Amino acid sequence: MNCVMVTNNSKCFEKWKGKIKVDYSEEWKYLDVLTAARDYIHRGYFLLTHPLAGSVKPNQTPFKSILLSTESLEGAEEFKDLILIEESIAAYHKFMNNRPLPRWSEKSTDDFRTIDLSLMEGAMSNPILNRR
């Protein structure tokens, strides 16, 4: 499957660089990852992972990774993915307006990288993604 991972997480970048396309920037914020994923959808990509996957809210973690593909899963429609990413961007703004991201210690920041990495490891182990 022709996948791209959009991320600001160095652990995800290091794990998957050279294996799949990884669109990574250390400078990106959570919102930048959502916006980059939206740009991919505009270019014909489909979401393989939910933009708000996991139980960590956008105002709790600085890291986000999203997996997309040029192939849809089970007849996904581009406009539905576009609506989902736009709703995720709106949710990001709602959470950040209610309570901005705290200044986390380096230990906590690294823990959030690990949580995001774990979510992507789960997604990447999905047999549907590995069928080709």
pLDDT in tens, the chain (132 residues): 689 999 999 999 999 999 999 999 999 999 999 999 999 999 989 999 999 988 888 889 999 999 999 877 666 565 789 999 999 999 999 999 988 888 899 999 999 999 999 999 999 987 666 654
Question: Cβ neighbours of residue 51 under 8 Å, at least 6 residues apart?
Answer: 34, 37, 64, 66, 84, 85, 88
**Number of other residues whose CB lies within 10 A of the CB of residue 26:** 9
Question: Cβ neighbours of residue 80 under 8 Å, at least 6 residues apart?
Answer: none
- The three-class DSSP label of residue 93 is helix
What span, in angstroms and rounded, lies between the C-alpha atoms of 109 and 16? 20
Please, what's the b/e burial string for 89-120 (b: 16 or more CB within 10 A of its CB; e: otherwise)?
A: beebeebbeeeeeeeeeeeeeeebbebbbebb
